[in-house]
Amino acid sequence: MKPAHLARYYGDQFQDQSIVDRYHKRPAYDECVFDALTAQLPAHARILDVGCGTGEIAIPLAERGYVVTAVDPSAAMIEKAAQKSQQVEWHQAYAEAFHLPEDLSLIVTANSLHWMDWPVVFPKFKQALRADGMLAVITGGELSDYAGQAEVMALVKAYSTNQDFTPFSLIELIEQGGFFKTERVVSTDPVPYRQSIADFVESIHARNGFSIERMGIDKAREFDAKVTAVLQQYDPFQVNGVLVTTVNFGRPCDGERGE
Ligand SMILES: C[S@@+](CC[C@H](N)C(=O)[O-])C[C@H]1O[C@@H](n2cnc3c(N)ncnc32)[C@H](O)[C@@H]1O
């Protein structure tokens, strides 16, 4: 059973314009993530990016010459993605309702699979993949190991509109549910990353629980001021940390009912 904080109601926060407008403030995925995703792919392979957001994974893959389809239920996300690139076939739909292309060599979910209804999507993924195809589940990629992180996280917990949140491991949950078997894991070395405090604070509003529409502008500004004050104790202008991204490659399964 999925934890309450992963309910569709919360996933729908990515339809809010304030999140989409700030999405580019989140750190981009490192090149080595794309190297890992494509290392074993034939040239011009067909790839599906599910929960694609504004195209952070789909666009670089298309630019490497792959045939990429991408889907996301957020109209605002898809509109922004389509403005950025016409090399990807974009679709606005929930993964659960989307008619998946066939003959895929790779399906990618990047920080999005936790929002989906696993008993529905995993059998669809299994059906759409070639016999040698893989599902790549990407997690991480957010700034960590910066001075003041524990204090910032305490503020995040207090101000999030997703008060159901509890820490979780997506991979453990889907493996325990019988939906996925990891065959290979690639984790990036910690990549140094620095960002202005102002941009870092904006990037938090591109995350679940921090949509300005849902927080209200007064709460949002109060939160911003507190986070800024915490971070300025350590550096007046910047946040310095690292990014670590993990890709679990494996095969989708039908869930507890069987392979
Ligand atoms: C944190 S964003 C990740 C976006 C992008 N993959 C990335 O890595 O930057 C999560 C995305 O999952 C999408 N999402 C939420 N529920 C979904 C569902 N049921 N099917 C497909 N995508 C969903 C959201 O609209 C949002 O764009």
Q: What is the pLDDT along the chain (259 residues), one digit of tens a residue?
A: 789 999 999 999 999 999 999 999 999 999 999 999 999 999 999 999 999 999 999 999 999 999 999 999 999 999 999 999 999 999 999 999 999 999 999 999 999 999 999 999 999 999 999 999 999 999 999 999 999 999 999 999 999 999 989 889 999 999 999 999 999 999 999 999 999 999 999 999 999 999 999 999 999 999 999 999 999 999 999 999 999 999 999 999 999 755 5
Ligand 1 contacts CB of residue 20 (under 6 A): no
Q: What is the CATH number of the domain that holds 106?
A: 3.40.50.150
First to last CA, the chain: 18
Pocket test for ligand 1, best of 14, 34, 80, 138 (most atoms within 8 A of CB): 14
- Is 115 inside a domain boundary? yes
Residue nearest to atom 15 of ligand 1 (CA): 11
Q: Domains in the chain: how many in total? A: 1
pLDDT of 28 reads 97
Supply the pTM of this predicted model: 0.97
* Among 72, 205, 210, residue to substitute to test ligand 1 (most atoms within 8 Å of Cβ): 72
Please give the single-letter amino acid code of residue 240.
N
Tokens linked to 196: 């202005």
Residue of minimum CA distance from atom 22 in ligand 1: 51
94 lines ligand 1 (CB under 6 A): yes
The answer to whether position 232 is within a domain reads no
Pocket of ligand 1 contains residue 48 by CB under 6 Å: no
Ligand 1 neighbour 211 (Cβ under 6 A): no
Residue 32 maps to a domain: yes
CA of 112 to the centre of ligand 1 (A): 4
User: Is 200 part of a structural domain of the chain?
Assistant: no
Residue 158 lies in a domain: no
For 141: left if phi > 0, alpha if psi spans -120 to 50, otherwise beta; the answer is: left
**Closest by CA position to 125, among listed 251, 7, 259:** 251
Round to whole Å and give the CA distance between 155 and 168.
19
> Does residue 257 form part of some domain?
no
Which numbered atom of ligand 1 lies nearest the CA of 94? Answer: 20
pLDDT at 167: 87
In the prediction, which pLDDT does 245 show?
98
Distance 11 CA to ligand 1 centre (A): 7
Is there a domain that residue 150 lies in?
Answer: no
Q: Determine, yes or no, domain membership for 40.
A: yes
pLDDT digits (tens, 9 = 90+) for 180-191: 999 999 999 999
Domain that holds residue 95: 4-143+166-192+242-252
Q: What is the pLDDT of residue 175?
A: 96
The per-residue pLDDT for 62 is: 98
User: Which atom of ligand 1 is closest in space to residue 8's alpha carbon?
Assistant: 16
For ligand 1, say whether the CB of 253 is within 6 Å of any of its atoms: no
CB of residue 57 inside a 6 A radius of ligand 1:
yes
